[in-house]
Amino acid sequence: MKLRLILLVLFQTTLFLNVSTGCSQNQNVAVIDTLEVKSTMLKIANKILESTNYNFIDQNNGVVYSKLGDIPQNVSVKLASDYNEWEYQNSLICFGMERMNTGIISNDVKIYNAKKIEFLIDNYPFFKNQRDKGIKTPYSIFFDMKELWYCGLAANVVDSYSQTNDDRLKVFIAKFENHIFKVQARLPDSTLIRIDNGRRVIQSDDAYMAIAFLGKMWKLTGNKRYLNEAITQISSYHNYLFDSKDKLYHHVWYCDENRSGGAYWGRGNGWMLLALVELLDVMPTDHPKRNEILTFYTEQVKSLILLQQPNGLWCQVLNMKTSYNETSCSAMFTYSIARGVNKGWLDSKYKTFALKGWNGLLQKVTPNNEIEGVCVATHFSDDINFYLSRPTVQNDRHVMGSFLLAGQEMIDLSKMK
């Protein structure tokens, strides 16, 4: 009798640890080692700190300037560190470093965002003056803003402004706000689109670029204009890109051909899921559209957990197991699922999938504390081989921020009973 009771307990425990995902569980994902999580996050954060410096390089002769005031007015320079460019990859890194502050004390990490924004503010007048004279400068995609992915650090600037009320930040906020509402191309139904070599497309990446900024502006101002625009855009992107059968997002919609295109690209789905998370984070719980947005989120998550691989990661093309495990989308999904559990958007049983994803991500951290297996920047194509053959790189900025965000959610998950 005692033996049967022991076997029954063991069976029930195993059943709890192996919630059906469509793939086997081959590792223990029930326990979160918070010390290991914090240690790994600090190692990755230190890599970011090592890669971020505040120097300038003469584009003609390679002379390095450590002070802005030392640069001759007619000399064209570039930033010595890509981590300081006005690029959306750096925005997500800032969010990761900022969230990390809530769980791990490190003074260098704590001041990282403030230092980056201050550097931007200090540089702006000089490079604006150079730009007006026709000299090539850093921040080119800010000065020549053309598409949503030129958003750069706009959402981070809003956060900084909410903390400091520094009027010098208004020029950056106003520039991107004007672009979203008055410049960026739209369909007759108001959906934001991009113009790619004359071709009108809706691309999944762009959802996050708009929603992150609009959500921050809603939180800052309380003006429903921003919230309503965010809801309109995420709903439109969902309607155009979401496949009702597979419950995944196509990478692109060809507006003039009235059809979807591209594969179920991992990072493309990651951007959509991050956009949904950003919106749910700031959307009032009693908003009449909240349940609809929450359904978009839960439907995608339910489909993703069925595609999670035995090692906890997701594939470059989500529904093709023969494609390689891709780290940036895996970090995005792990973060988004864990945050859903922590926020109560998902049942606690989803904790298992988040932990499994985190354990998979840890396997992608090299002995040199770099993250491998990250798909390079990617255009769109109807040729599936285009996605399957995309090369991977190590320590690409597309993964750093979402990795840190995922780690912080793991720490928060460990506090759940």
Q: What is the token pair recorded at 78?
A: 């570039």
Please state the domain count of the chain. Answer: 1
Of the listed ranges 8-17, 145-154, 346-355, the least confidently predicted one is 8-17
DSSP string, 269-315: HHHHHHHHHHHHHHS-TT-TTHHHHHHHHHHHHHHHHHH--TTS-EE
User: How far apart (Å, rounded) are the C-alpha atoms in residues 318 and 335?
Assistant: 17
Tell me the mean pLDDT in the region 308-321.
98
Model confidence at 160: pLDDT above 60: yes
| 20-25: average pLDDT | 38
CATH of the domain at 209: 1.50.10.10
Tokens of 286: 């009693």
Residue 25 has pLDDT above 60, yes or no: no
* Tens digits of residue pLDDT in 164-205: 999 999 999 999 999 999 999 999 999 999 999 999 999 999
Q: At CA 380, angle to CA 377 and CA 385, rounded to 5?
A: 90
pLDDT value at residue 416: 83
Domain interval for residue 77:
2-413
Q: Residue 348 has what pLDDT?
A: 95
- pLDDT grade for 30, boundaries at 50, 70 and 90: low
Q: With beta carbons less than 8 A apart as the criterion, state whether 50 and 28 touch.
A: no
107 — pLDDT class (breaks 50, 70, 90): confident
Residue 368 sits at the vertex; the CA angle it makes with 362 and 373, to the nearest 5 degrees, is: 50
Distance CA 248, CA 322 (A): 18
Which strands make up the sheet holding 56-58, listed edge to edge? 64-65, 56-58, 77-79
The model's pTM is 0.92
On average, the pLDDT of the chain sits at 92
Q: What is the pLDDT of residue 9?
A: 35
- Please state, in angstroms and rounded to a whole number, the distance separating the CA atoms of residues 236 and 189: 9
Nearest Cα neighbor of 301 from 265, 332, 327 is 332
For the stretch 359-411, pLDDT in tens is 999 999 999 999 999 999 999 999 999 999 999 999 999 999 999 999 999 99
